[in-house]
Copies of this chain bind each other. A is one copy, B any other.
Amino acid sequence: MREIQAAKNNKIKALKKLHQRKYRNQSEDYLLEGYHLIEEAAKAHAEIKEIFLDKRGLRLWQEWVENHQFTYYLLSDEAMKALSEQPAPQGIIALVQKSSNFPSDFSGKWLLLDNVQDPGNVGTIVRTADAAGFDGIFLGQGTADEYSPKVLRSMQGSQFHLPIFSGDLTEVIAEFQKIDSKIYGTKLDPAAISYNEVQKNEDFVLILGNEGQGVAEDLLQLTDQNLYIPIYGKAESLNVGVAAGILMYALI
């Protein structure tokens, strides 16, 4: 165990950069905060490189950390406050390596997110996909980064229960077409059909889109069928997280 006192310590300064997407992309590492999430990461055999504890964290989790033979650091309260994204840090942060491989199997139930920008929406959708027993998720361009602190918090550990990948959705759809997976887009459109008129399939892909604009037109051209959720009242639309839940549970 090593100690870090100063909030402006070079290691702390380097780690703090991982709050920004561009540095996460350079280093292939990210920060995960809170015991519950770190425990889920360990269970899922994520590559935990280092653990940072403050005095309180050391008291609570030193034994757990040592049992797992993780490299760890004791941080002063100031150094923990500098590193943490939380107003009241829990006292434990892990440096974790991203898992960035490509799926070997595209069968089953998959969710594709096209340009879903709000981190809370992305997190809630991942959690719902986990609950609904989906096999995996692809995050397309413009979608909130799965390693951003807000997305990590709202996923509540579901990222360790089903695999999440990033990629160009046009290329990804081609992979699903190779195995004859049914591709469903979502669109409020006369050519679309109501979600509850769809026959169930073993292998399918559901594409959800941006909060304002929906799924991009070029992706909608690649689908087998586009679905909509009927609006019976006077609301203009549904929240994308709610729509995702209704559609995922109806299709499984």
Contacts and interface: CB of A to CB of B under 8 A. Distances in A.
A127 B245 contact: no
A145 interface: no
Contact of A243 (B162, B233, B245): B245
Given A241-B241, A242-B241, A245-B242, A156 B235 contact: yes
Interface in A103-129: 124, 127-129
A219 interface: no
Interface size class of A (residues with CB under 8 A): 20 to 34
Given A241-B242, A242-B242, A249 B235 contact: no
Nearest to A245: B242
Contacts of A156: 235-236
B161 A131 contact: no
A229 to B, nearest CB: 7
Copy count, this protein chain: 2
A158 interface: yes
Contact of A239 (B128, B129, B161, B249): B128
A231 interface: yes
Nearest to A234: B161
B133 A238 contact: no
29 contacts: A124-B239, A124-B241, A124-B242, A127-B235, A129-B233, A130-B233, A130-B234, A130-B235, A131-B229, A131-B237, A132-B232, A132-B233, A133-B232, A134-B233, A156-B235, A158-B233, A158-B234, A158-B235, A161-B233, A161-B234, A162-B233, A229-B249, A232-B252, A238-B245, A241-B241, A242-B242, A243-B245, A245-B246, A249-B250
